[in-house]
Structure 1
Amino acid sequence: MKKLIYALLALFIQQFPISAQQRDVRTTTTKIADLLALQPSETTARFRDAMAQMERFTAADISALLKQLSPPGEGDNAGIEYAANSYSYHVLLPGKATQRATYIQGAIEALNAISNKDNKGFVIQLLQNAGDDSAVDALSPYLTDEYLSEKAARALSRIGTERAGAALLQVLGGSTGVAAVNITDALGFMAYAPAEQEILIKANTTDTILRRISLYALSQIGGAASQSILADAAKSARYVYDPTEATAAYINYLHKRIANGEAVPAGKAALKLFKETDEDSQVHTHIAALGLLTELNKEKQVNVLLKASRDGNPVYRNAALGLLSPYLNGTVSTKLVKRLSKVDEQIQVDILRYVANHKQTEALPEVQKALSASTPSVRIAAVNALHQLDAEAADEALIVLLSGSDEQTRQAVKQALLTSKNKQLAQLLTNALTNERNADVQILLIDVLGQRGAGESMQTLLDIIGSDASNEVKSAAFSALPQVARPGDLNKLLDLFVNANNEYKGAIQAAAVSAVALSDDREAQTQLVISRLRAADATRRLFFFPILSGIGGKEALQIVNEYTADGNPELRAAATSALANWTGGEALPQLIELSRKKVTDSEQLDAVINGLIRLVSIADIPADQKVLYLRDAFEAAETVDQKKSVLRALEASKTYNALMFAGKLLDDEQLKSTAANTVMNIALDNKNFYGADVTRLLNRVIELLSGSESSYLREAIQKHLNELPKGPGYVSLFNGKDLEGWKGLVADPIKRTAMDAKTLAEAQIKADEIMRGGWSAQNGELQFNGHGDNIAT
């Protein structure tokens, strides 16, 4: 036994230091300083740390923290407010009852000690968040304080206990002005029934605000004693909006009585309200009354709702339809659409739309009848309804409807067909197109087939193209070809390249490209196009180049490139255009080579320049390489517009060389504006570009800027210049003028190391002479004539 006692004693002694270590022995000042060092808590970890620290605060610590609040404008309260407000919610978590009690006690102590009313208001808000009955006595004195009554009343209403309600009621009788409004509002929020009689007294006032709040509070309480005053107030307002919002309060009151289980008196009042609100100006109240009766009577109200669904007022009618939704079934929907054609046009439209949205298939017979209605709006509504209710079966009926319909109805049918999920629709449309003779309907069907990508319609479209159909119908058929083309159609598409179809060659070419793109064997399809090209005469060969351009690939590129040197100028031009419009970046070398040749045709040159710019932009090559290619394009360019296009393209490269190249053109009268934009956009995007040259160019840009945004841009450039590092920045090895700084290369490093100074100097003189014979500076570029050795710095 002694051993057991000693063991327990030893265990207790071991535990005691641990408990002592867990007690927070910091001073209040230190606790607060440590807490505020974590504010604002920008991470979850810091927030949790802050909350854990506050859990170790005593009530005195909480009070001391809140008493450090400065009057607004005299200090920074952000840290205190953030921590205290966050903790007011933290103590509401499960298992935090002790911390909550401590927090409330500390907040009450601070509330009594703080003198500034704004800071008192903040503490009251904290008690609103975390408070319970223990805070009621501390909050009650502020109910009659004009500045703080709203916060105090709201805090008590959120506490929401019997004690809080009693405290509010105790002060209500003697309150006036703002305090009376705030206390009444709080009691209404709580729906505190014992306050009904006192609020009834407050409601009999000429003060509009107090009367509005009192009527609302009575509606929230829902007591029988309030029926008369609320009903009379709504009637006096003629059941429409007024500043006291009496009608809204009365409707809310009746809902409250229904919720309280008082269906009989609420039903009588709702029926009376319904009967007394039949004017157009009262429609919203009439709807509310209908809603109350439906809430009470449920299925028994259906006949009234059906009658209302045909009312001439669209707002009331659609509200009634909305109330009818929970009670829809086959019988109800059949009644809803019965003799639908006898009612006004807009009513038919609303009901058709309603049964469609609610999937009431029992209404289908009447919907089908409405397809033959005399007015377009009803027919359109019927088309949409049929499509929604019976999508697959509807398609055939809608297609049949097309021939005899007006344009509006046809467009509605078209939209339905475009969104149909019927897997058989393409065949239905194709069959209809085969038999259709109305040109407008043919065009519509072709458009739908095209937009749906109906490959099975290709033969029908080809038949139309080869028929005596009108030009409009044929044009529609050609336009649809790229959308419906499939790999197996390629030969047939290429057969269309005859002079008679020259007007539609673009559509045929696009269709052929689509057919190859969809193929699992692009190489074989490409070879088919190439073989057809070679077999064609010179005139028909022209048709094939855009196809090869759109297909892309090495085989196509090789063939097209061969024709850029063809003796036939038309074929040469067509091949050049094909390279310029090539779909992939693989044509870039050929296009660059072409740009270096003299292209005499201005349109061809324009195509080459634009094609080069486009392919450079999409090419997967270093930015500096892109700049070199664009400089080639600039050299090839002849017109101002072409040169401007190249300058604009340089912006994307964002390199120092691009900056310097554009900078050379800042004094060119025709190009300086475009060059200025390029220089500015490259320089402002990279602070690593600095130094005398960059500064000089940007200052020149400032001089050139004009237009509505010029002042803003000048400021941006000047700011950029001011922020650039000081120093020489980037210095080019080549100064663009001469060979200063460059030398001929003497032997190799091993041999140079073995030379004495005299021998090296003599060898250098000889190497420099050779270097100057092979290298030169021309037009700002370092040029090599192909003779001589390497050059070195």
Structure 2
Amino acid sequence: MKKALIAVLILAVSSSGLTAARQASGPGRGEDLKPLVSSILERFPAEMSSARDGLCAEILKLGPAAIREICGRVLAPGEGDDAKARFAVNGLAVYVTRPGAESERAVFARALLASLAGSRDKNVAAFLLSQIQAAGKKESIKPLAGYLVDETLAGPAAAALQTIGGPEAARVLLKSLDAAPLIARLAIIKALGELRSREAVKRILRFAESGDEGLRRTALFALANIGDPAAGPVLSKSRVVSSFRERSAAPSLYLLYARRLTESGKTSEALSAARAVLDSYVRPEESHIAAEALALIVSALGERALPDLLRAMDSPNHDYRGAALASASSIPGNGATLRWVERAAQCGPEVRAEIIEMLGRRGDVAALSFVQESLLSREKTVRLAAIPASALLGGEAVLPDILRLIGPADEDEAAALRAVLLGYRAGLIVPECVRIIESTPLPGKTVLIEVLGERGAREEIDRVFTLAQDPEPAVRSAAVGALANLAGEKDLPRLVSMLETAVDGNDILRLQEAVASAVRRNPDSMKRADALLELLKNAPPARKIAILRVLPKVGGTRPLQASVDEYGSTDAQVQSVAVYALSQWPDYQAADELLRIVKTTRTKKHLLLAVEGYVRLVGRANMSNPRKLELLQGLLALPMDDADRKAVLMGVAKVREPESLRLLSGYLANPALRESAAAALLDLTSEQAPHERWLSGHEAYTVLRLVEASLADPAQIERVDKVIVERLRQGGFVPLFDGRGLDGWKGLVADPPGRAKMTPAELLKAQAEADDRMRAHWKVADGVLVFDGKGESMCALDDYADFELLVDWKIEKGGDSGLYLRGSPQVQIWDAEANPAGSGGLYNNQKGRSQPLEKADRPVGEWNTFRIFMIGDRVSVYLNDRLVVDNTVLENYWERNKPIYPSGQLELQAHGNPLFFRNIFIREIPRDLDVPRIAEAETAEGFAPLFNGRDLEGWTGDTNGYAAEAGKIVIHPERGSGNLYTVKEYADFVLRFEFKLTPAANNGLGVRAPLEGDAAYVGIELQILEDGSPVYWALKPYQYHGSIYGVVAARRGALKPVGEWNTEEVTVRGPRVTIVVNGTTVVDADIDAATAGGTVDSRDHPGLRRKFGHIGFLGHGSIVEFRKIRIKGL
């Protein structure tokens, strides 16, 4: 015994030592854990569930401390971007509940509970409770009890206990019921009801007659769901003496109660409740309630419910009868079928037809005799029901009876007969149709013709050809339609002859389809059109016209050439139809010929047809969007009328690229094309796919505002405004002003230092007074925020840190105002005629620049637009799409010895004159958390860091302008903005990095570059550019972000909004360069092939021939940040 005890002690000591060692050296150390967690979080949300599970496995390897660390990064609203942390916690909750992961689930649940206990924000606590709901079990029950008396947290806590379930969870809920405040009590009662806790019935009954309607309704639902007989009287009573809303819900509750009684074996009580509902709810609008009660009766009684179903046929309500007939299948047998037959005979035509339809579906031949008799009913409704029912029950045996109905059938009966006849095998039905077709009048004759076609009665084609020339249009139409199913290549001469002489539009269309179908039946694709083209040779004009119109339906190289040849015809009508045929061609083969016509024709009709056809074919072609746009731009460059250009503009709208936006916007200034350009732009921007970030960008916003300004129709203007708001929302913006009221705004209380000195009570009182003053002088009129010039500034309700702000403003002559950012003045607004420097400057700066870079104001009385970026302590301002402040530090006006506050309120400055504001939107820009490390998977792939996160070891060049800060390489243009290169040289490689741009930022990535000379030419420069800025809207395509500068243009629109981190992967292998930005491939080019005819910028690029060189960041005077730079040699 003593030896065993010693052994246990030794084991315990050694185990604790091992644990301590792990904690001292493993990933769980505090200084190591945060960056490891950050590295994993950076990869959330994962695109695939398998990737998410892999990330969750990595977190669990780090232990409970890592889970608590992630939970600690879930933030209260307004404190920052915690989306990745929330994705991770939720991902863990899903991952640990997989089969066989009980130990991991327990670890996760305990870590959640620990984080919950330490949470000081109720929004965060509610989120953690929701994850306990997903992953918690018995270990969570007691800790959750304390949250059941909290008004905010009782709901998620009760929901978690409800999900965990079991008697212990119910007891905890019940124990908290009396002490809980009202809102919490609602959640507890709901959970007890869902758990069907019979022990809670007596306590819940007390609340079923509460004076509070919400509490009363919750209690009634819980009692109904529990299904205890003790609740019957109070549930029945609520159907007649409660409020209208409660009376409306009462039957559903009473039937829920009845279902629960049935489930517990109390059938008699359940039936009594169901019949009470059935007797009480008989009006048409209540049929769904009666149907539900009847279904419950059938479920409880089974075959004994047949009298109830038969009795339901007495109801005047169609829906209720339908529900009863749907339940009839649950009671099988001949006896039941005969009871239904007997019942049908007693009913009027409408109900009898409904029963016959049910009998057909039922499939019991005991009903066949009755259904056959019904085929001859005097009532059309009954006959229509009997036609399909008899076929279902009698099959081929009833065909003679059905055929006898064809002659006297009307349109409705003919349609029903057609559907039935097509169900019979061809060998049986075709001879019967032939036998009676000549003697059958319309509309039955058309049914028989269509059956011949649908059943492939090729042996009867001569008969069908004869019918296709019948003077009766309906017979002719049916026969031509049948020929499309029957005719082959040998029948083409007859078909073409008929097409040539046809005059009825419907006949022409059907004959064209018949000709095309006959051609397509030739199994030899190489010879498929030979017979038709042979008929085209030396044909008279009328026949040529007939055949040419069919050729687009046939397609192929030889028919295309035939159409081209006929365009050279001397017959003007043949020539026009040839152009029409080419314009309708099914594939891109005809595009070159159509373009040739556009360039050479002098006939307006031919030009429009060719333009429309070319645009259609380019839009459908299997080619990249940039290539499509290039072709359409080339088309627009050709001489043509406005009508032709309108067709091209609508085609451009189908090409979803940023360049399409720019191309179309250029036509808004053209009075003749403005309306078409606006419609095309609306078509382009009305929907936005997740990867189409450019539709939420600066340029798209500006263009849509131009579209809005070009319109006069209020409905169209409203539509554009909705599109703008939706695009902004997808870009992360939220409206600060809804155009209707002052919600979201407050009055100004003192300045930031003054507010900081106030007690909470003083601030609350001062705020209420300021709000009253605000409402006296700030109003909303016609969707505009109007200041009367007599009060004080107005402030947005929330504080903001880093953000992008959109706002339209207008002033009167002599006006003066501004925008306070983070509570500090100011982005200046004033009358630019009186102040020639113009608006937009940082007026109160003393050390840094205070004047705008240029004057960009519109005349006084017109609307101006600000786009303002506040990131860190720097501000950039665009006024009417012109950059007037470029990454300038905003100084702290209130406390000059301090930097600008990290966050603060946004203020619209009052300055003693009227002001007007509208279209105010803000996008919060998340601030950086810890820099993520290189993922384990990437290390396993062979990636190694190029930047150690601490200093610029391994780099050379401008080490003054570039600095290592907080795990990032940051450019400081004021210190220098040259190039920073790797010390090592690289040939083929995969480089991955993340970068963050400031407004109008410009940089570049040098590849295979020497240390001297312009890397864009002596090496290879891959452009890094905030190309959404108006500064760059006039660039060449090869200058946008991701482009191989001067050599290959990149696909635009992949960048994230300013201030957010982008990812980029560059693969260089021999002459091929592939660039992927935020998951979108923007360049995949072979440099040798791209420069075979010279570079697109017509400059010499000797660096393209280099096989190796340095990698570098190429500065152009902008603030840019880089992180997670890693490389793998190839």
TM-score of Structure 1 vs Structure 2, range by shorter chain: 0.5 to 0.7
- Cα distance in 2 for partners of 1:652, 1:96 equals 50
Query: Is 2:155 the counterpart of 1:150?
Result: yes
Among residues 44, 48, 54, which one is paired with 1:48 in the alignment? 54
Corresponding residue SS for 1:194: helix
Output the CA distance in 1 between the equivalents of 2:327 and 2:500.
Answer: 65
The whole-number CA distance in structure 1 between the counterparts of 2:683 and 2:75 is: 49
- Seen in structure 2, the aligned counterparts of structure 1 residues 335 and 586 have a Cα distance that, compared at 3 Å, is same
SS in structure 1 at match of 2:426: coil
Q: How many residues align?
A: 695
The CA distance in 2 between the partners of 1:185 and 1:479, in whole Å, is 63
Partner of 2:581: 581
- One-letter amino acid matched to 1:490: L
Q: 1:636-689: per-residue Cα shift (whole Å, max 9, x none)?
A: x9x88679879988999999xx9xx9999999998999999999999xxxxxxx
Matches within 5 A, 1:112-511: 112-173=117-178, 175=180, 177-224=182-229, 226-230=230-234, 232-234=236-238, 236-237=240-241, 242=246, 245-267=249-271, 269-270=272-273, 273=276, 276-277=279-280, 279-280=282-283, 284-338=288-342, 340-386=344-390, 388-389=392-393, 397-417=401-421, 420=423, 422-424=425-427, 427-428=430-431, 430-431=433-434, 434-447=437-450, 449=452, 455-464=458-467, 469-470=471-472, 473-474=475-476, 476-478=478-480, 480-493=482-495, 511=514
Distance 1:414 1:720, change over 3 A: farther
Using the size of structure 2 for normalisation, the TM-score is 0.50
- Looking at structure 1, the residues matched to 619 and 117 of structure 2 have their Cα atoms a distance apart, in angstroms, of 72
Higher mean C-alpha displacement, 375-384 vs 62-71: 62-71
SS in structure 2 of the partner of residue 242 of structure 1? helix
Relative distance call for 1:106 and 1:367 in structure 2 (3 A) is: same
Cα deviation digits, residues 595-632 of structure 1 (max 9, x gap)? 99999x98789888888988999999998998999799
Local SS of the residue matching 2:188: helix
Q: What is the CA-CA distance between 1:52 and the residue it aligns to?
A: 4.2
Q: Secondary structure at the match of 1:312?
A: coil
Aligned partners of 1:89 and 1:620: how far apart in 2?
41
2:1010: which partner in 1? none
The question of whether the paired residues in 1 share the 8 Å contact of 2:149 and 2:179 is answered with no
Q: Is the 1:69–1:77 contact (alpha carbons within 8 Å) kept by the matching residues of 2?
A: yes
TM-score normalized by the length of structure 1: 0.67
Displacement after TM superposition at 1:431 (Å):
0.6
Alignment-mate amino acid for residue 197 of structure 2? Y
Which one-letter code corresponds to 1:53 in the other structure? I
510-519 or 183-192, which deviates more = 510-519
SS class of match (2:206): helix
2:63 paired residue among 52, 57, 71: 57
Amino acid corresponding to residue 166 of structure 2 in structure 1: T
d(CA) in 2 for partners of 1:413, 1:670: 56
Per the TM alignment, residue 404 of structure 1 is displaced from its structure 2 partner at its CA by: 0.7
Deviation at 1:83, TM superposition (A): 3.9
One-letter amino acid of the structure 1 residue matched with residue 276 of structure 2:
L
- Summarize the Cα distance change of 1:94–1:483 in structure 2 as closer, same or farther, 3 Å threshold: closer
Is contact 2:37–2:59 with CA below 8 Å preserved after alignment? yes
d(CA) in 2 for partners of 1:414 and 1:90? 56
Q: For residues 200-240 of structure 1, give each alpha carbon's deviation from its aligned partner in whole angstroms, at most 9, with x where no partner exists.
A: 3333433333333223333333334x155345425645999
Residues 610 and 85 (structure 1), Cα distance of their counterparts in 2 relative to 1, 3 Å cut: closer
Sort the Cα spacing of 1:554 and 1:37 in 2 relative to 1 into closer, same or farther, 3 A: closer
In the superposition, relative to structure 1, how do residues 521 and 433 fare at CA in structure 2: closer, same or farther (>3 Å)? farther
The alpha carbon displacement at 1:459 in A equals 0.9
Distance 2:136 2:667 in 1: 74
Contact 1:144 1:179 in 2 (8 A): yes
| Amino acid paired to 1:216 | F
Q: Which amino acid aligns with 2:203?
A: E
> Of Structure 1 and Structure 2, which has the larger fraction of its residues in helix?
1
Pairs within 5 Å for 1:532-611:
574=574, 577-578=577-578, 581=581
User: 1:302: how far off?
Assistant: 1.9
The worse-fitting range, judged by mean Cα deviation, of 496-505 and 176-185 is 496-505
Distance 1:110 1:377, change over 3 A: same
Equivalent residue letter for 2:358:
Y
What is the deviation of 1:460? Answer: 1.0
Aligned-residue offset at 1:124: 3.8
Structure 1 residues 643 and 457, CA gap change in structure 2 (3 angstroms) = farther
Distance of 2:274 and 2:631 partners within structure 1: 81
Q: Secondary structure at the match of 1:38?
A: helix
8 Å contact 2:155–2:187 — kept in the other structure? yes
Q: Contact between 2:281 and 2:290, CA under 8 Å: does it hold in 1?
A: yes
In the alignment, residue 487 of structure 1 is paired with which amino acid? Answer: E
SS in structure 1 at match of 2:246: coil
The structure with higher relative contact order (CA 8 Å, sep 6+) is 2
Deviations 1:549-598 (A, max 9, x none): 876778878888888888xx66x854774576366888899999999999
C-alpha contact (below 8 Å) 1:65/1:80 kept by paired residues: yes
Deviations 1:469-522 (A, max 9, x none): 546544654565444322232354466589799997776666445433322468
1:15-62 Cα shifts (integer Å, max 9, x gaps): 99998876674334643553244226333446534444345535x776
Q: Which residue of 1 aligns with 2:1102?
A: none
In the TM superposition, what are the counterparts of 1:503-542 in structure 2 within 5 Å?
511-520=514-523
Higher gyration radius (CA): 1
2:334–2:366: 8 Å Cα contact kept in structure 1? yes
How many Å apart are 1:531 and its aligned residue?
A: 6.8
Mapped contact 1:333–1:360 kept (Cα < 8 A): yes
**How big is the alpha-carbon RMSD for the aligned residues of Structure 1 and Structure 2?**
5.9
CA contact (8 A) 1:545 1:575 kept: no
Unaligned runs of 5+ in 1: 1-13, 683-698, 731-793
What is the match of residue 11 of structure 1?
none
Deviation per CA, 1:248-284, whole angstroms, max 9, x where unpaired? 33332332232223334444x3476267536437655
* Counterpart for residue 77 of structure 2: 72
One-letter amino acid of the counterpart of residue 460, structure 1: R
User: For the Cα contact (< 8 Å) 1:308–1:317, is it kept in 2?
Assistant: yes
Query: What's the secondary structure of 1:254's corresponding residue?
Result: helix
1:415-458 Cα distance to aligned partner (Å, 9 max, x none): 5556x363347725751564235244334444555566654442
Q: Which residue in 1 is equivalent to 2:33?
A: 31
Offset of 1:336 from its aligned partner?
Answer: 1.6
Q: Distance in 2 between matches of 1:181 and 1:147?
A: 12
Pair 486,182 (structure 1): closer, same or farther in 2 beyond 3 Å: same
Q: Which residue of 2 aligns with 1:782?
A: none
What SS class does the counterpart of residue 72 from structure 1 fall into?
coil
Alpha carbons 1:640, 1:670 under 8 Å: kept = yes
Amino acid at match of 1:723: Y
Q: 1:723 maps to what in 2?
A: 1032
